[in-house]
Structure 1
Amino acid sequence: MSHGFCARALLVAASLLAAFSLAQAQTGALLDRIKAEKKLVLAHRESSVPFSYLDPQGRPVGYALDVCVMLAKAVQRSLALDRLDVSYLQVTPANRIEAIEKGRAHMECGSTTNNAARRQQVAFTVPHFITGARLLVKADSPIDRIDHPALKAAVSTRNTTPLAALRKVDFERQLKLDIIEADDHERAVEMVEDGRAQAFAMDDVLLFGLAAGRPDPKALKVVGKFLTTEPLAIMLPKDEPAFKKVIDDEMRRMIYSGEIQQIYRRWFEQPIPPRNVALNLPASYLLRDLWKYPTDQMP
């Protein structure tokens, strides 16, 4: 066998392998599984109002859930499926990343910040919200900032960026706060209400939503300057470019068509469960600017 023939054979084999790899990438292992099983799992939260929470009947609802339902329909269209069974998995801040990493859910529909550390484990699509961490305190509290003398104990939710920011500020300013970790947002609010903590550090939009859902919404208030700037985005499995492209393309379509703005107004400007109270939070200038040039690339 000549060297020329061997070289040509190797070139042909390499070309076939490259073509196979390209075809596989265009479909993607995850999309193949979804197409075969006709099943998609959405991870949701228990009390991340108004993004992802349980209504009085125990059903998962919220802004991020509505966005994810649209994304699921896009996956169904892209795979030309006659049906796609969508199921729900409740997660917490502590296990949400693992749920996506281990394949127990295909999208996490909540209030998760897209940051560099998390991008080592998972992927994110275009943000659906931009917020920042502030403080929730009792309405009669004098506390109006993180370094107020009356603030001795502060709580935040385990495995969240506001908790990390709270620790960072406490260290840098030598505040010597007693920092408490709560399992979820609901428990953190209860700690403020019963006096175990004087403030709850969390994304301000979540704080407004949590306060609106309490028996007496006026008993709590949101105070202080932003401790962080948080781009919140739907979390996706890492290294699934074909699946991510379907999701990213649909996010951009919803933004450019104005559909996501309609979903936003439903959850942030109109009365919502459980108490039919409106948050009255129009889209911030940061979010409006992001939606002019939607991207998943976050600093």
Structure 2
Amino acid sequence: MLAAMVLFSENAIADPVLDKILKTQNITLAWVDNTKPISWQLNGQPTGMAIDLCLDVVENLKQRYKTDINVTWKKVPTAARFDVIAHHQADILCAVAANSGQRNKLVSFSIPWLYTKMNYLTKKSDNINHEEMLAGHTVGAISGGTSAIALAKMNKEFNYSISVKLVRDFNEGFNLLAENHISAFLTDDIIIRGKLVDIPDRENYQMSPEGFGETLSYGLVVSKDAYNMKDIIDEEIKTLFTSRQFDKLYSKWFMSPITPSGESVKQPMSDLLIDEENRLQSTDDNSSQF
């Protein structure tokens, strides 16, 4: 404890989040349930790609500051996940978190660890095969999310007269589609893939053939004043990339079985993510020559 206090004193910084973590030897990690393979609950504990990344950050902090750090998990509602971080109710968001200009005004994002696009999920029997076929239909979207903004923009630009049904979370969106209350559910591609591995009648559903809207980058999320924490998180993600440990993590959650029945989301690394890894690897190789 004394060593931790000394280190805390020597590394006094203008970062209230990191200061609090070191002083209390506790970190609160926020997560969202039911979003395979990013974060969900297994045997009463959070698990998933974002969870592993956050735990790697915690290990980094322990080694850097030579101190024990207890982890407190805080399950948060999907629609409130960014507010929880902005209001300092948790230290890092370990969940589905697509970076956007609007969200950047509220919180800070780490460097990307995933690139994805939005997709819409429909029932095959409805024969909705192109985005213009959504015109006149009711489409579900997470309240306050990027999909709701994209639908509003599409309505304005193309006058599709899409009725937008705002939902609290991903499960509600999928359930409304299953019960025919909406014709489509628009959300991130990887979340749809994660949900489909759990649906017994998945053959009755289809994803849109092409991604919808702009490419989204996922990051871990901290408050705007957590300057040093963001730097540490970025450093840890870079290290995972340059050491190729990220490849193992990615394969574990996106290419390997994640259900008791042995289902996988089968989502290879995107070209953007491969390019990012190669760029960081090249930068690391060049810096090591000096």
TM-score (norm 1): 0.85
Query: Percent of aligned pairs with the same residue?
Result: 23
Residues 86 and 174 (structure 1 numbering): CA distance in 2 closer, same or farther, change over 3 Å? same
Alpha-carbon distance in structure 2 between the residues aligned to 1:29 and 1:217 = 46
Residues 163 and 252 (structure 1 numbering): CA distance in 2 closer, same or farther, change over 3 Å? same
Q: How does 1:25-40 map to 2 (within 5 A)?
A: 25=13, 28-40=15-27
Which residue matches 1:233?
Answer: 219
Q: 1:60 aligns with which of 46, 56, 60?
A: 46
Residue 191 of structure 2 aligns to a residue in which SS? helix
Contact 2:31/2:76 (CA < 8 Å) preserved in 1? yes
Which residue matches 1:181?
Answer: 166
Gaps of 5+ in 2: 1-9, 281-290
| Structure 1 residue 225: Cα displacement | 2.7
| Structure 1 residue 218: Cα displacement | 2.2
Amino acid at match of 2:62: Q
| Structure 1 residue 149: Cα displacement | 6.2
Q: How does 1:210-229 map to 2 (within 5 A)?
A: 210-226=195-211, 227-229=213-215
Which residue matches 2:275?
Answer: 289
Residue 260 of structure 1 aligns to a residue in which SS? helix
Contact 1:135/1:224 (CA < 8 Å) preserved in 2? no
1:210-245 deviation digits (Å, cap 9, x = unpaired): 111123232322114322210011111212222211
Q: How does 1:1-299 map to 2 (within 5 A)?
A: 24-25=12-13, 28-55=15-42, 57-81=43-67, 83-148=68-133, 152-226=137-211, 227-273=213-259, 275-293=261-279
Residues 210 and 273 (structure 1 numbering): CA distance in 2 closer, same or farther, change over 3 Å? same
Alpha-carbon distance in structure 2 between the residues aligned to 1:41 and 1:132 = 29
| Structure 1 residue 139: Cα displacement | 3.1
Gaps of 5+ in 1: 1-21, 295-299
Residues 169 and 237 (structure 1 numbering): CA distance in 2 closer, same or farther, change over 3 Å? same
Alpha-carbon distance in structure 1 between the residues aligned to 2:179 and 2:17 = 46
Residues 159 and 275 (structure 1 numbering): CA distance in 2 closer, same or farther, change over 3 Å? farther
Name the Cα RMSD after superposition. 1.8
After TM superposition, the runs of 4+ consecutive aligned structure 1 residues lying more than 3 A away are 22-25
1:128-147 deviation digits (Å, cap 9, x = unpaired): 11111111011333111221
Residue 42 of structure 1 aligns to a residue in which SS? strand
Alpha-carbon distance in structure 2 between the residues aligned to 1:193 and 1:151 = 19
Residue 286 of structure 1 aligns to a residue in which SS? helix
TM-score (norm 2): 0.88
| Structure 1 residue 102: Cα displacement | 1.7
Residue 140 of structure 1 aligns to a residue in which SS? helix
Q: How many residues align?
A: 270
Residue 101 of structure 2 aligns to a residue in which SS? coil
Residue 84 of structure 2 aligns to a residue in which SS? helix
